[in-house]
Amino acid sequence: DAGVIQSPRHEVTEMGQEVTLRCKPISGHDYLFWYRQTMMRGLELLIYFNNNVPIDDSGMPEDRFSAKMPNASFSTLKIQPSEPRDSAVYFCASSPIGGGAAGYGYTFGSGTRLTVV
């Protein structure tokens, strides 16, 4: 299994531009999570999906952020318009049915380092 795959690994964009981050979860995993890591706030959960349905998006910072999961093998996190304070590492993670409850843990992708200038 290739694990959770995120693209791009690095993204540099100008303020005001639209940014789209992509994630392919592990096949068969029913849960998909988006996290953001910054020096100030650490690792924080933005949104998660169960069977492609968004369950909790309370961590999404603003309306400029949106996430979709059109099918079981693909999710996007979009920022429009981007701002310098959005600069962070964005991680995607997936988990089988039950996630931590079933004891399988969460597998993280390698992350996308976003820099907004």
* Nearer to another protein (CB atom), residue 81 or residue 108: 108
User: Is residue 97 part of the contact set for another protein (CB under 8 A)?
Assistant: yes
87 binds another protein (CB under 8 A): no
Task: State the Cα–Cα distance between residues 39 and 45, nearest whole angstrom.
Answer: 15
The one-letter amino acid code at 53 reads: V
The torsion angles phi and psi of 86, rounded to 5 degrees, stand at: -85, -10
CB of 105 to another protein, least distance (A): 5
Residues 26-85 that bind another protein (CB under 8 A): 30-31, 33, 35, 42-45, 48, 50, 53, 55-56
| CB closer to another protein, 39 vs 70 | 39
- In the complex, the smallest distance separating the C-beta of residue 81 from another protein, rounded to whole angstroms, is 26
| 2 binds another protein, rule: CB under 8 A | no
